[in-house]
Amino acid sequence: MSLYNVQKFLYELNRSEAVQEAYRADRDGAIAGYELSDEEIGALTEPDIGLLYVLGVNGQILMHFAALHDIEWADYLQLMRDGIEEHGPVRAGVYAMTGYEGVDAHAESIGQSSRAVQGVGNEGEEP
């Protein structure tokens, strides 16, 4: 896996209109200069927000990629949750290092109820 290269591409995509134009015109061509696995290429060209999250892409970088694809905030959050359900736990990056599994799982692990609002963060009770 080449998480660094995925994030480098996304960083450049987020910052450069020229890269955005190239990506819109030819997604495969836009990422051709980066050393990526087939799985990463598929996630970047579909786009598959959930898989990119599971691969370890930082959420601050990923949210701009989602916005580029006109994905609304609540849908972006749900796509990340769906990614974990479909592809398993986060494999690399800061989220994997912490072992953080979301508000609901953390609250349950310490014997509390989550106060996250359903559909906005993790599933849970309204405050």
Q: What are the residues whose beta carbons fall under 8 Å from the beta carbon of 76, sequence distance 6 or more?
A: 49, 62, 63, 66
Q: What are the residues whose beta carbons fall under 8 Å from the beta carbon of 12, sequence distance 6 or more?
A: 19
Percent of the chain whose predicted confidence (pLDDT) is above 70: 83
Q: What are the residues whose beta carbons fall under 8 Å from the beta carbon of 69, sequence distance 6 or more?
A: 47
- Residue 52 CB-density burial (10 A; 0-12 exposed, 13-18 middle, 19+ buried): buried
Predicted pLDDT at 112: 84
Residues 22-53 pLDDT 10s:
999 999 999 999 999 999 999 999 999 999 99
Q: Is the pLDDT of residue 126 over 50?
A: no
Is 3-92 assigned to CATH 1.10.700.10? yes
Q: Taking all residues of the chain, what is their mean pLDDT, rounded to a whole number?
A: 86
Predicted pLDDT at 117: 55
Supply the Cα-derived Rg of the chain in whole angstroms: 16
Q: Is the pLDDT of residue 72 over 60?
A: yes
Q: What is the dihedral of CA 68, 70, 71, 72, to 10 degrees?
A: 120
Q: Is the pLDDT of residue 93 over 80?
A: no
Which has the higher per-residue pLDDT, 113 or 40? 40
pTM for the model stands at 0.74
From first CA to last CA, the distance across the chain in angstroms is 40
Region of 34 on the Ramachandran plot (φ > 0 left; ψ -120 to 50 alpha; else beta): beta
Q: Is the pLDDT of residue 102 over 90?
A: no
